[in-house]
Chains A and B, each alone.
Chain A
Amino acid sequence: MTWFLDHRAEVFDLAVRHLYLAGVPLLIGLLLALPLGWLARRFRPLYPPLIIGTGLLYTIPSLALFILMPGFIGTQILDPVNVLIAMTIYTIALLVRTVADGLGAVPGDVNQAATAMGYGRVARFFKVELPLAVPVISAGLRVAAVSNVSIVSVAAIIGVAQLGSLFTDGFSRSFLDPIVVGIIACVVLALLLDVVIVAATWLLTPWQRAGRVRT
C-alpha cells in the first residue's frame, strides 16, 4: 500500500489517460452505432450483414488491432489515436446489435399512437423510439464500457501510457505492487463508468420509476 501512496499522482495521471482512451471511443462509438442500428432495423435486409459484419470486427484480438491500425491510417505505432480508433471499432461492434434490438423492442402500437398524434418519422424517432430504447441500449453500453476499460490496458504492450503501463512496469521489474494497484484501479474505473451510465439511464427514463407504468 505504501507504493500506492508514494505514486498517487502518477497513478491518477495514468487513470485519467485510461479514462480518456476508454471513454471517448465509447461516446463516438455510441453516436456511430445509433444510425447503423437504426439502418439495420429500418431496412430488414441490412440487418444480417450489419450484425454479422460488426460481429466479425469484435473477433479481432485487441493487440492485433492496435498493431494493424498504423498500417490502415498511416499513424505511428506509439500514437494514442490507434488505440482510440481501435476502441471505437470495438464499441460499434458491441452496440450496433444492441441499438437495433432496442429499437425493435419498442411496441408497435406506441409507434402507431405517436404517428396518430402527428409525429413525423424524424420526430418520432428522437422523441418516442430512441427514449424507449434507452434501457436496452444502456445495458449494452455498460458491457461496452467495462470491456473497453479492460481492453485499453493491453495497449501498454505497444507503449501507449495508461493504467496498463503499471502492469508492464511491474512485470519488467518483477515487482508486484504496481500490478496489483493497476488491477484495482482498472476495476474501480470500470465501476465508475458503470455508475455514470446507470445514473444517466435513471435520469433519461423517468417513466420506469413512476410506479412501473406500462409503456
Chain B
Amino acid sequence: MSSPILSIKNLSKTYSNGVRALNNVSFDVEPGEFLVIIGLSGSGKSTLLRCMNRLHDPSAGEIWFQNRRIDQVKGSEIRHVRKEIAMIFQHFNLIPRHSVLSNVLMGRLGSTNTLKSIFGLFTKEDRETALRYLGLVGIREKAGIRADQLSGGQQQRVAIARALSQNPKVLLADEPVASLDPATCHTVMDYLSKVNKELGISIVCNLHFLSLVRQYATRVIALKGGEIVYQGSPKEIDEAWFGRIYGEGAKEVHVN
C-alpha cells in the first residue's frame, strides 16, 4: 500500500469561546479512497474538514499532506494547500450574481495573479478546463446562466466543477447533500463517486444518512464529541454501532 495522501495526527481544536470541537483525532486518507465521516451535528465533522484545508487553524496536533507538514504553514503556503485540497459545502457557497462559468473559473483564483483575476483575465486553457468540468458534472449548457437561477442540486454540481478546476488531489465535502431533496442527493453523490473513480481524486465526505454511507463509502470514520469512536468498513456498522454513534434510541432514516 502506498503512503497516505493526508495524515492527521493527534489533532485537537478548541475555539476561542472554549468549545473543544476536536480531541486527539488521528487517521489517514489513502490515495483514491472515498472516506466518509459520520456523527451527530456538533460532533466536530465540519471543524475537522475545515482544519484539513486550513480554513480553521488547529490548536494542537499535526496534519501531513503528501509528506509535507501543513498545520503550521502561513500566507501563500496556506493558499497553496487550499488549492490542492478543494472543498464543497452544504450551502454550495457560490457567488449568486455571477454566471455558472464565472463561478467555476473562481477555482482558478489560486493559480491566477491577483490583478489579472480582478480584471477577469483568465487564460484560454482556464476557460476550457472550466467548461470541461461543467461537462463532467453534466451542466455544460448552463454555463451562461446566473448561479442563483439553478436548482440546489445543479448548484452543488457547479460547486463540484469549481472544486475540480483547482486540480486538487483531495476533495473535501461538508454535508454536500444535507440541503437537497432525496432524489437529487443520489445525483450529486453519483457525480462525487464519478470524480473519485474517473479522476482518482481522494474524497473526504461528511454525511448524515447511513444508507448513502453504505452505498458510496469505501471506509467510514465516526466522530462523537470530537473523538473518533469507529473506524472501518461501512458494511460493519450494525445496529449496535449505530446506537453507539448516534445515541441509544436513535432510528435510522433511509434515503431511497
A and B interact: no
A interface residue numbers (CB < 8 A to B) = none
